Structures are given as C-alpha cells and as structure tokens.
Amino acid sequence: MLKAVIFDMDGVIADTNAHHQIAWRAYYEQHGRTLSDAEFVEHIAGKHNNAIVGHLFPGQVLPPDDVYRLGYEKEALFRELYAPDIKPVAGLPAFLTMLKEHGIKTAVATSAPVENLDFVIDTLQLRPFFDALLHEKLVTRPKPDPEIYLKAMNMLGVSAAESVIFEDSMTGLQAARAAGARVIGVATTHTLDELAPYTHDAVHDFTEMSWERVSV
C-alpha cells in the first residue's frame, strides 16, 4: 500500500535544468572553461557540486572549504538567474493536493544546498505540502548513494515497499532504485525512452499522473 511519495527537486519539483546549465556555463567561463550541452548532461545534471567542481578543475585537489565556496558562488548565481522564471513542473501543485487528500506523506530529497531548497519551495509556496525536506547537509554520501532516500523514508516512518520516488537524472535514479522503492521518472533531463530501463514508470510531467497510476 502506498504511504509516501518522495521527490527529487531539480527537474522534478521545478524544471531548473536550463537555468542550472546557464549558470554553470557562465561560471565555467569565469574560470576560463567552456561547457557543452553534452558535458552538462554527462558531468553536471544530477551530480553533487563537489563532483562538478572536480570536473571544472581537473587534476587539482582543492581544499574542502574552496570546493564549498566555489559551489556556493555558482548556486547564488543560479538563484539570481532563475528567480524571474521559476515555476513548478506542470501539474505538480494539483498532484500534491491529490496526495494530501489521500493521506500520503511527502518529502523532498535533494542534493542541492539548503539555500536552493528554501528558494524553490518557498517561492513556489509548496512548503505546506511536504512533511520532510532533505538537502545536501543532511547526508554524508550524495546520490547515487541511496542514503538520502533511506533517510527520507525513515523520517516519514515508511518502508521502501510503501514508497514511490520521482527522479529525473541518472544518478538520482540509481539512488532511488538502490533505496528499494518504486521509481517514476520525470522526462525533464532525459527522454522517456532513456528513462525506461531505469524506472518502473515515466512521465513527461505531473499532468500525466493520476492516483491510479501512482498507487499501483
């Protein structure tokens, strides 16, 4: 029986990918690098900032404080760029309302910093819909490790068999599958065909998601 639905944030709650790409491209250029669309999908989409900074400065071992500072600078740039355009993935508010009407517990589990989480959730006025909000500082191992999803389930008091996870990136899908839940892909980063081998179901957005479909 379905008791909980857990959402990634970037590409699931809000389709932030285009603005993250713009921000990362600008940040790469500030550091004398270029960033192609293919590099964004391979090295950035769904990745933790620590790994991305490693790609930005290959062959260098940066102190943790520098890695955090560089990631923080980019995320501040992202929030500035995205603020005028922010909107939820289509159908999400109605879907969240439906879940609450059925008594389903909900959580966000994102690898993003808490500043981004607060920015997205509060700007979209979605905080009342969620029972738990997890960000990068609440785990020690980023996706594709399942730690953040297992912790979300624990906070909600549910098992993997009682949970559905919505994800869009390959690292996120790996984490969701490893957590043991039913996984539904959202085709904001990858196509439905690309998502199919790694998900139990996949949708373009939440306008396609009914109670019958999510509670299978």
Whole-angstrom CA distances from 180 to 104, 160, 167 are: 18, 5, 14
Catalytic center residues: 8, 10
To which H or E segment does residue 119 belong? helix 114-123
Helix (H, G, I), strand (E, B) or coil at 157: coil
Biggest CA–CA distance in the chain, Å, is 52
- In angstroms, the CA 129 to CA 126 distance is 6
Q: Give me the DSSP letters along 121-143.
A: HHHTT-GGG-SEEE-GGG-SS-T
Whole-angstrom CA distances from 163 to 15, 20, 177 are: 23, 29, 11
- Secondary structure of 20-65 in the HEC alphabet? HHHHHHHHHHHCCCCCCHHHHHHHHCCCCHHHHHHHHCCCCCCCHH
